[in-house]
Structure 1
Amino acid sequence: MNPDCLQALAFDFGTSRIGVAVGQTLTATATAIAPVSARDGIPDWNQIDQIVQEWSPDALVVGIPLNMDGSISDMARRARKFANRLHERYKLPSFLMDERLSTREAKSIHRAAGGGTNYKKESVDGIAAQLILESWFSSEQRIPSHSRLEDLYDIGQS
C-alpha cells in the first residue's frame, strides 16, 4: 500500500440504500457509483463484495450522521456498527467521517445539475458518499471505526 496514493471506498449509510463512492488520495477526488440496496439497514453484502473486489480499496470510510448539536443519533450508532462490520469482513482499515449536512449538499448538487426532487427515484446517496470521501481526503483526522463515538466527539451519552 502506497500511502501517497490510497484508493478508498466511502459509504453513506442508510436503512434502505447505502451510497457508495470511490476515490484516491493522489488527487483527493471521488466519484459516486451505484448505491447498495439495504433492508432495514442490512446491506446486500453480495453487492458490497463485488464493489470491494472490483475497486480493491486500501481503506473504507463511513459517514457518521451526528445531530447538528454534535450529539450522537441512532443512525450514527448504526453507521458505526456498519463500519465495524466492513472492517471485520474485509480486513481493511475502516474510518469514520462526520457527515453532517452531506445529504443536504448532495441534493443541492443534484438539483443544480438538472435533477429532480424525487430522491427515492433519483438517488443522491452516491453524491453524499462522494462528499464524505472528499472531506475525509482533506481532513487531518483519521478516526478508526472501532473507536467510541462518545470519546471521539467529546460529548456525553445521549
Structure 2
Amino acid sequence: MPEGCALAFDFGERRIGVAVGESLVGIAHPLCTIDSEITDERFTRIAALIDEWRPQSLVVGLPTHADGTEHEMTRLSRRFANRLKGRFALPVWLVDERHTSLLAESLLSEAGLKGRKQKPVLDQVAAQAILQTWFDMSGESV
C-alpha cells in the first residue's frame, strides 16, 4: 500500500460517497457525498477533491453479490475506477465492498442516526468502511 493520503469512493448511479484517510495512521474519515447523475459534474467535484487533498491513491468499492459473483454495479464500479485512473493518473485500488452498507448503517445507528436521518451521510460512511478495509488489507489494483 502506498504511503500518503487516499480518497475512497462508494460508487452509485446517483450518489458517490467519498472518504479520506492517511495510510500512515490507517484511519478513514467520511468526507462528502457527490449527489449527481451527470458524469461531468461528478468528475468536476472529484477533481476539486483531488486538488484539495492531493491523494497518493484512490480506492473504489467493488460491489458483488453475497457469494462474490459480479453483477451490473460491479461492471459500473470497475468502469468508474478505470475512468478515475485515466483522468487523474493516480493508482486506483478496488476493494470488496460486501457488507459495507450494513456496517455503515450500524455505525450510524450507534451514533444515534436512524432511518431517514442516515441518508445524507450513508454513502460517505460506506466509503469510510471501504477505505478502512483497504488500510487493513490492500485490495486489487486497476
Structure-1-length-normalised TM-score: 0.83
| Shift, 1:4, TM fit | 6.8
Larger radius of gyration: 1
Alignment-derived partner of residue 96 in structure 1: 94
Alignment partners' CA distance in 1, 2:79 and 2:7: 17
Alignment-derived partner of residue 47 in structure 2: 49
Is this contact kept in 2: 1:15–1:40, CA < 8 A?
Answer: no
Structure 1 counterpart of 2:17, from 16, 19, 44: 19
Alignment-derived partner of residue 140 in structure 2: 143
Which runs of 4 or more aligned residues in structure 1 lie more than 2 Å from their structure 2 counterparts after TM superposition? Answer: 40-43, 119-123
Identity of aligned residues (%): 39
Residue aligned with 1:124, SS:
helix
The CA RMSD measured in Å over matched residues stands at: 1.9
Distance 1:5 1:23, change over 3 A: same
Alignment partners' CA distance in 2, 1:119 and 1:78: 27
Alignment partners' CA distance in 1, 2:117 and 2:23: 29
Is this contact kept in 2: 1:18–1:43, CA < 8 A?
Answer: no
- Which gives a bigger RCO, structure 1 or 2 (Cα 8 Å, sep 6+)? 2
| Shift, 1:42, TM fit | 7.2
Alignment partners' CA distance in 2, 1:87 and 1:17: 19
Alignment-derived partner of residue 134 in structure 1: 132
Is this contact kept in 2: 1:16–1:41, CA < 8 A?
Answer: no
Distance 1:122 1:22, change over 3 A: same
- Number of positions where the alignment pairs a residue of Structure 1 with one of Structure 2: 142
Residue aligned with 1:44, SS:
helix
Structure 2: segments with no counterpart, 5+ residues: none
